[in-house]
Structure 1
Amino acid sequence: MSRKRLLPALALLAFVAGCGANAAADDSAKLSLDAPLPTAVPDGAKIVVGDPATEVALKLSGQYDKVSKYVQFANLSGGPQTTEAFRAHALDLGSVAEIPPIHATWTGLHVKIVASKFRQDPLNHPIYKLGVAPGVSVKTFGDLRGKKIAYSPGQAQGALILKVLKKAGLTKDDVKLVELPSTGDVYAQALAGKQVDVAPIGGVQIKRYLAKYGKDGASTIDHGLRDDAGHLYGPVESLEDPAKAAAIRAYVAAWGVAQEWIDKHPKEWIEGYYVKNQGLSAADGQWLVDNAGHPDIPADWSDAIQRQQETIELLAQETGNKVIEAKDLYDLRFQTVAADAIKGGAK
């Protein structure tokens, strides 16, 4: 979504949400961030959630009516959109990859991660591969030296490039980083048009890029790094509102059950989400399911926090931002909520 289209959407969200996101800031009865989470969602509680894929999963699985009492879904996802919506006090929860909570904190937003999802066997089921432009020879990381590489600061793809360069023993000075937005098929088009030599491409773009340009010499290589983190996160002001905190807890539980449903019902997911909602072919949907593997929703975030800290330190070194503590990005009260919900079924 372009910024021109995003601003009216945020204005509408702000109108609908009213001053709800600011309520906790003006209310003397704030919920402390170390207080136990409320377990009962009070009547009238409402949160605005930007998590379009889970919205579809809840509808397909018959769970939607259980959350619609307290959730209003917004067609927003990804770091730039959720960050701007948080600033507009128009969103309580967003679905993103690894980098947005870090970037939001560096830009002055106080946010917390409340749910995390990864992939089982993540090195064999990466989200991204490095796309190589037709006529360009990149077989190993060493071949990246001197290449033009697509780069999106503040997003997962940008962080992945920095990690790849570190693994290759290269610095930013050894390549030419070309800043491009990572939305849609921008990277694939940039590769095909020789604007860049290398770019991280993900999802069905991997399949389509090779199918369309493979005959011209386009290729991909594996990066061999973990790129599988996915989070739900939101502004602290929402978590300080007792009613919203209860609703967020209930949503995280429903989210966990929905991820499990997606994994156990691939045919329904392909037809209901990839085909009917996203407009992909059934073959593309099957490819995405096969290459995603199975979800990993841990009840212990220790390893995730350690990996996040490594990412923070790398990004801080490369961007000049201050090193922050990864553990401070996580609201550990939610650590077992999704995993417990999966064990117990919908609650």
Structure 2
Amino acid sequence: MPASRLLRPALAALLLTLMTACAQEPDERGNLAADAPLPASVPQGTKLIVGDPPTKVALQLSGQIDDFSFDIEWANLSGGPQTSEAFRADALDVGAVAEIPAIHATWTGLPVKIVASKFRKDPLDHPTYELGIAPGISVKTLADLRGKKIAYSPGQAQGALVLKVLKQAGLTKDDVTLVELPSTGDVYPNALASKQVDVAPIGGVNIKRYTTKFGKDGATTLRHGLRDDPGHLYVRTATLQDPAKAAAIREYVAAWARATRWVYEHPKEWIDGYYVKDQGLTAADGQYLVELAGEPDLPADWSDAIARNQETIDILAAETGNPKLDAKDLYDLRFQTVGADAVKGGAR
């Protein structure tokens, strides 16, 4: 056999090794490749700006706030619109959101990646939102939504939920009137109470407060029967090209996961420290929210989550005219096991 043929396998193996090594190192501009392993250590002087207020409180209450190997500046913001605005202004590194902001950001030309995901172990028993029904409006089933005025917030989880609910009911946007309103604060409950809309997805303590305050007038809520439980951390794709910040984000994801588990395992401390002292709610409201949240699920395999996200993308694309995306492209799978690995053995 000619020597050249004997050398071919060895040369091919050498070439593969060299290519792999190159992919794992920053390029000549110092950028980390998208398929390179995440750096294991954070260089001194690294800083992250993080918009995740609940996790900040959880880390304070659990005694882990000073455990990071890098500096954190906490930004008091949350939700898709605020987070995307901060990303565009180069004023934020990590944001905490639900399912829709990463999709909407990509459609608006802002490349982002999901680096952490959490869900609820019993999502149908512990929904994030219920459909608030205005006083005097009769909606007993999803089919009764036909002809109703429904609050709608494009680019946010509540807006996507409305579209999913309509599909579940066999309805389209043409069968209802969508009223664009921001879903922040008490906007939706007040819009319902004033008959500005007939139906609106309301979440958290607003579910309880809405029926308590306006139930005497005929206000009700209806469970939609769909999953609405995703919670994500996401970042700009460009941020992950910085090796130092990529390493810091990995460390933050691990801390975020431990904080998530700590909250579930320490409900009394969480109610008093976050809901009462930080958010100004009553202990009873805090207890209601803890029970509503249920147990968190931090999967080490994102396959099912990506498949569900793809269904959401397909629904939104069809209804909004935006191009279809491949849901897998929104996730940085290098982070897939970071959160789950961090909580093995229980939270600190």
- Report the Cα distance in structure 1 between the residues aligned to 2:69 and 2:137, rounded to whole angstroms: 50
SS at match of 1:201: strand
- Report the Cα distance in structure 2 between the residues aligned to 1:139 and 1:33, rounded to whole angstroms: 49
The corresponding residue for 1:12 is: none
SS at match of 2:344: helix
The corresponding residue for 1:104 is: 105
SS at match of 2:200: strand
Relative to structure 1, is the Cα distance of residues 274 and 118 closer, same or farther in structure 2, using a 3 angstrom cutoff? same
Q: Equivalent residues in 2 for 1:190-205 (5 A)?
A: 190-205=191-206
- Report the Cα distance in structure 1 between the residues aligned to 2:74 and 2:326, rounded to whole angstroms: 31
The corresponding residue for 1:10 is: none
The corresponding residue for 1:314 is: 315
Aligned residues with identical type, % of pairs: 73
Letter in 2 for 1:285: G
- Report the Cα distance in structure 1 between the residues aligned to 2:305 and 2:210, rounded to whole angstroms: 31
The corresponding residue for 1:263 is: 264
1:84-134 alpha-carbon deviations (Å, 9 max, x no partner) = 010001111000000000000000011000000101110010000000000
Relative to structure 1, is the Cα distance of residues 26 and 199 closer, same or farther in structure 2, using a 3 angstrom cutoff? farther
SS at match of 1:178: strand
1:202-244 alpha-carbon deviations (Å, 9 max, x no partner) = 0000000000000110000000000000000000111000000
Q: Is the 8 A contact 1:49 1:94 kept in 2?
A: yes
The corresponding residue for 2:189 is: 188
SS at match of 2:201: strand
The corresponding residue for 1:223 is: 224
TM-score (norm 2): 0.91
Q: CA RMSD in A?
A: 1.4
- Report the Cα distance in structure 2 between the residues aligned to 1:190 and 1:278, rounded to whole angstroms: 23
Q: Equivalent residues in 2 for 1:225-304 (5 A)?
A: 225-304=226-305
SS at match of 2:281: coil
Unpaired runs of at least 5, structure 1: 1-24
Please tell me whether residue 88 in structure 1 is matched to residue 89 in structure 2.
yes
The corresponding residue for 2:161 is: 160
The corresponding residue for 1:115 is: 116
SS at match of 1:182: coil
Q: Is the 8 A contact 1:122 1:226 kept in 2?
A: yes
Matched residue pairs, number?
323
Relative to structure 1, is the Cα distance of residues 196 and 27 closer, same or farther in structure 2, using a 3 angstrom cutoff? farther
Q: CA shift at 1:71, angstroms?
A: 1.7
Q: Is the 8 A contact 1:70 1:247 kept in 2?
A: no
Stretches of 4+ aligned residues off by more than 3 angstroms: 344-347
Which one has a bigger Cα radius of gyration?
2
Q: Is the 8 A contact 1:253 1:346 kept in 2?
A: no
Letter in 1 for 2:167: K
1:52-108 alpha-carbon deviations (Å, 9 max, x no partner) = 000000000000001273321111111001100100011110000000000000000
